Amino acid sequence: MIKSGTWVEIERVLLKPEQRAANLPEDTAKTPYLLRLSGFLQEDAELGQEVRVRSLIGQEHRGTLRLVNPSYSHSFGSTVPELLAIGRDL
């Protein structure tokens, strides 16, 4: 059970493939248009349930509960050795 008030991420389908804009490339056209958003859970729930959250500015959004305590893990990446040589021999 995930407690109400927990910082979570939801996902919602905004447009199904058949509802999307015209003239999309084929690969994009066959996918749904998705929203992901983080907010404070408004009721006790389990992952995968339809829930309500409030965003950082207090707006209410609905969606499927996807993650608990969503975090940023982007990085500087694994070292690209080709960059190390640059600037040493000028």
- Tokens 């058949």 belong to 18
In 3D space, the residue among 10, 22, 18, 1 whose CA is nearest the CA of residue 55 turns out to be 10
How far is it, in rounded angstroms, from Cα 28 to Cα 83?
34
- The reply to whether 68 sits near another protein by the rule CB under 8 A is no
**CB contact at 8 A, 89 and 44:** no
- The reply to whether 74 sits near another protein by the rule CB under 8 A is yes
CB of 2 to another protein, least distance (A): 20
- The reply to whether 72 sits near another protein by the rule CB under 8 A is yes
Per CB under 8 A, residues contacting another protein are 14-15, 19-21, 24-25, 27-28, 31-39, 55-59, 72, 74-80, 82-83, 85-88, 90
